[in-house]
């Protein structure tokens, strides 16, 4: 095709193409804004099953539970006005790729030329439905969840039980202590944050919890919840035979990806999310890339050049923010202009007065070394290594150093990294990072597409840190 013909195709699509976004949260909103930014003026429909306008989730487990912000006051800042047909409060229930239509719960069919899937995840519910229905039993994913849980905490319950000590569970425990509430954390693994950061950091996180008066129980699971005559939860039975008197229980058991509505659509979607290439284009069930369906945010899984091209799912804010933008750009661009979404994974968390920040993929590593600062003072940096190269890093109140480690990870620099010129921690020996053994459920499926030569550095990564 001649160049002007191609330009015509793009211009025509931008003027008349129909785009549908399913999922009206961070990834979906940023995609919609980007589409309009890039000059797409055709009809845009945004479908979201939550009634609220797009809002931000990280404050829910922090400011909202503390009572510093109201649950309905965390709307996402808008980067620009988006002219779109917003269908809020109605779920998508099916996708028919032959006729290119999204089916809605109210029976309507919405046609599209390009589709973005951004339906994210939901909390894994408490496994026993009767117990889950007891008053005082919560999960936390939505603003409504946060509003209800905040009210329960503000009422001054006797004891709060948090089941699961990942980032969100640990943040909630921290808030409970700040509110002066008695709190027990029950975690099946050997310590808090172990799935994401391994046992060495888990030990430090455990100490932080105990120093702040959390009754932390590790290596145990909660087997049953019991209610009183009014149907309010009052007691929990643990796998070590002990029981606890509790008034509030929060199940923080990880997430389930919202892929059910895609069943039968013939896409590579399932338990781990929707598979796509590094340009956010969805694979069909055969692994053939589609050209009209894109995916971004918590629900997307894409091969990552830095991690042996394994498929990576990233339930982190930055990934949804940037992924939504890249997907949108690629939806209205032809091949030479398409961009990869290759973020160096990055996350943060605030708990027990410590700002935790990380880059890279910890669970990919087998070794860890504390590189800077002091663990006792809760101010340090640590690097993770695998096969002699650095693959991740985490900082506790040491976030200004993160960029340095990000650059090392991008270059697949040797592990352990060279010793710093000052502020040496006591022991600087690499040690086993102690991640849960493979086979135990973790976020990382074992799909390897192809080999990877770590000395190849052709790829362009995005790496986001706020410079100031």
Partner 1 sequence: MRPEIAWAEAMKFENRHDPYRFFDELRKTPVARVADDIYVVTGYWELLALAHDPRVSSDISRSPLQAKRAAAQEPPPEAEHLTAYGRQPSMIMSDPPYHDRARRQAMRQFGPPHSPDLIPSMEPGIERLCNELLGKAAGKTRIDIVDEYGYRVPVTVICKILGVPLEDEKAFHAWIFDFMAGLDLGPEAATEEGKVRAAKGRESTAALTEYLRGLIDGYVRKPGEGLLSRLVNDDGPDGPMAPPEAAANALLLLIAGHDSTVNTISHCVLTLLRNPGSVELLRRRPGLIPRAIEEVLRLQSAVQFFPSRSATADIEVGGTVIPEGSAIFLMYGAANRDPGRFPDPGRFDPERRANEHFGWGSGIHTCFGGPLARLEVNVALEVFLQRVENPRLVVDPPPYRRNQIFRGPQHLFIDYDRIREHS
- Binding residues for partner 1, rule: CB under 8 A, are 371-374, 377, 379, 400-401, 403-404, 407, 418-423, 467-468
How many helical (H) and strand (E) elements, i.e. helices and strands, does the chain have? 9, 29
Q: Are 134 and 229 in contact (CB under 8 A)?
A: no
Q: Are 162 and 238 in contact (CB under 8 A)?
A: no
Binding mask 401-420 for ligand FAD (x = CB under 6 A): --------------------
C-alpha span between 78 and 1 (Å, rounded): 39
* Tokens describing residue 51: 């009634």
Shortest reach from residue 145's CB to ligand FAD, in Å: 8
Give Cα separations from 245 to 125, 159, 220, 332 (angstroms).
21, 7, 16, 56
Can residue 301 be called a binding residue for ligand FAD (CB under 6 A)? Answer: no
Of residues 327 through 366, those in contact with ligand FAD by CB under 6 A are 347-349
Shortest reach from residue 144's CB to partner 1, in Å: 29
Q: Which of 59, 58, 54 is nearest to 30 (CA)?
A: 54
Give Cα separations from 264 to 258, 285, 387 (angstroms).
14, 10, 41
The conformation of residue 235, written as its DSSP 8-state character, comes to: E
For tokens 């993929």, what's the residue?
361
Q: What is the CA radius of gyration of the chain?
A: 23
The residue (of 168 and 278) whose beta carbon lies closer to ligand FAD is: 168
The residue (of 329 and 434) whose beta carbon lies closer to partner 1 is: 329
Shortest reach from residue 98's CB to ligand FAD, in Å: 20
Dihedral sign (CA 297, 132, 445, 371): positive
- Please give the full DSSP string across 306-370, using - where no structure is assigned: GGTTEEEE---HHHHHHHHHHHHHHHTS-GGG-----BPPEEEEEETTEEEEEEE-GGG-SEEEE
The conformation of residue 448, written as its DSSP 8-state character, comes to: B
Shortest reach from residue 294's CB to partner 1, in Å: 24
From the list ligand FAD, partner 1, none, pick the one residue 423 interacts with, judged by a Cβ distance below 5 to 8 Å according to partner type.
Answer: partner 1
C-alpha span between 33 and 84 (Å, rounded): 10
* Tokens describing residue 143: 């603003």
The residue (of 74 and 218) whose beta carbon lies closer to ligand FAD is: 74
Q: How many residues bind ligand FAD (CB under 6 A)?
A: 35
Of residues 260 through 289, those in contact with ligand FAD by CB under 6 A are 261
The residue (of 317 and 415) whose beta carbon lies closer to ligand FAD is: 317
Of residues 32 through 51, those in contact with ligand FAD by CB under 6 A are 47-50
The residue (of 2 and 81) whose beta carbon lies closer to partner 1 is: 81
The residue (of 249 and 369) whose beta carbon lies closer to ligand FAD is: 249
The residue (of 94 and 420) whose beta carbon lies closer to partner 1 is: 420
From the list partner 1, ligand FAD, none, pick the one residue 420 interacts with, judged by a Cβ distance below 5 to 8 Å according to partner type.
Answer: partner 1
Can residue 309 be called a binding residue for ligand FAD (CB under 6 A)? Answer: no
Of residues 195 through 234, those in contact with ligand FAD by CB under 6 A are none
Window of 119-127, 213-221, 267-275, 397-405 that interacts with ligand FAD by CB under 6 A: 119-127
Shortest reach from residue 136's CB to ligand FAD, in Å: 19
Q: Are 452 and 335 in contact (CB under 8 A)?
A: no
The residue (of 309 and 404) whose beta carbon lies closer to partner 1 is: 404
The residue (of 23 and 385) whose beta carbon lies closer to ligand FAD is: 23
Query: In the complex, which residues of this chain contact ligand FAD (CB under 6 A)?
Result: 22-28, 47-50, 57-58, 60-61, 91-92, 118-121, 140-141, 168, 258, 261, 297-298, 315-317, 320, 347-349
């Amino acid at each position: 095709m001649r160049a002007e013909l191609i330009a015509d195709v793009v211009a025509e699509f931008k003027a008349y193409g129909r785009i549908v976004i399913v999922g009206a949260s961070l990834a979906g909103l940023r995609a919609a804004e980007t589409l309009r930014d890039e000059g797409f003026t055709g009809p845009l429909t945004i479908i979201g099953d939550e009634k609220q306008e797009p809002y931000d989730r990280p404050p829910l487990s922090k400011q909202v539970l503390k009572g510093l912000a109201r649950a309905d006051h965390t709307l996402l800042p808008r980067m620009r006005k988006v002219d779109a047909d917003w269908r809020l409060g109605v779920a998508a229930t099916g996708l028919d790729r032959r006729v290119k239509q999204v089916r809605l719960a109210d029976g309507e069919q919405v046609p599209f030329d390009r589709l973005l899937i951004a339906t994210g995840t939901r909390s894994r519910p408490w496994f026993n439905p009767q117990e889950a229905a007891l008053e005082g039993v919560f999960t936390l994913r939505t603003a409504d969840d946060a509003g209800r849980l905040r009210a329960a905490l503000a009422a001054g319950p006797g004891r709060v039980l948090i089941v699961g000590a990942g980032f969100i569970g640990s943040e909630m425990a921290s808030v409970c202590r700040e509110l002066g509430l008695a709190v027990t954390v029950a975690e099946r693994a050997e310590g808090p944050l172990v799935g994401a950061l391994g046992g060495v950091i888990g030990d430090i996180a455990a100490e932080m919890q105990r120093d702040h008066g959390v009754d932390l129980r590790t290596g145990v699971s909660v087997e049953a919840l019991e209610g009183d005559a009014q149907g309010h939860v009052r007691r929990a039975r643990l796998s070590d035979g002990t029981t606890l008197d509790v008034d509030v229980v929060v199940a923080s058991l990880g997430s389930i990806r919202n892929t059910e509505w895609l069943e039968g659509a013939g896409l590579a979607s399932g338990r781990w999310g929707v598979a796509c290439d590094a340009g956010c284009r969805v694979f069909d069930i055969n692994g053939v890339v589609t050209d009209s369906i894109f995916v971004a945010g918590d629900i997307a899984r894409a091969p990552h050049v830095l991690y042996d091209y394994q498929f990576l799912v990233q339930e982190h804010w930055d990934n949804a923010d940037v992924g939504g933008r890249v997907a949108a750009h690629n939806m209205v661009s032809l091949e030479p202009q398409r961009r990869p979404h290759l973020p160096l994974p990055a996350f943060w968390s605030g708990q027990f007065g410590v700002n935790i920040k990380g880059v890279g993929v910890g669970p990919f590593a087998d070794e860890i070394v504390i590189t800077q600062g002091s663990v006792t003072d809760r101010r340090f940096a640590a690097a993770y290594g695998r096969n002699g190269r650095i693959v991740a890093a985490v900082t506790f109140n040491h976030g200004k150093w993160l960029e340095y480690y990000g650059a090392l990870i991008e270059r697949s620099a040797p592990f352990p990294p060279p010793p710093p010129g000052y502020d040496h921690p006591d022991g600087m020996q690499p040690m086993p990072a102690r991640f849960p053994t493979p086979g135990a459920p973790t976020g990382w499926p074992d799909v390897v597409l192809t080999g990877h030569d770590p000395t190849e550095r052709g790829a362009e990564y995005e790496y986001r840190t706020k410079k100031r």
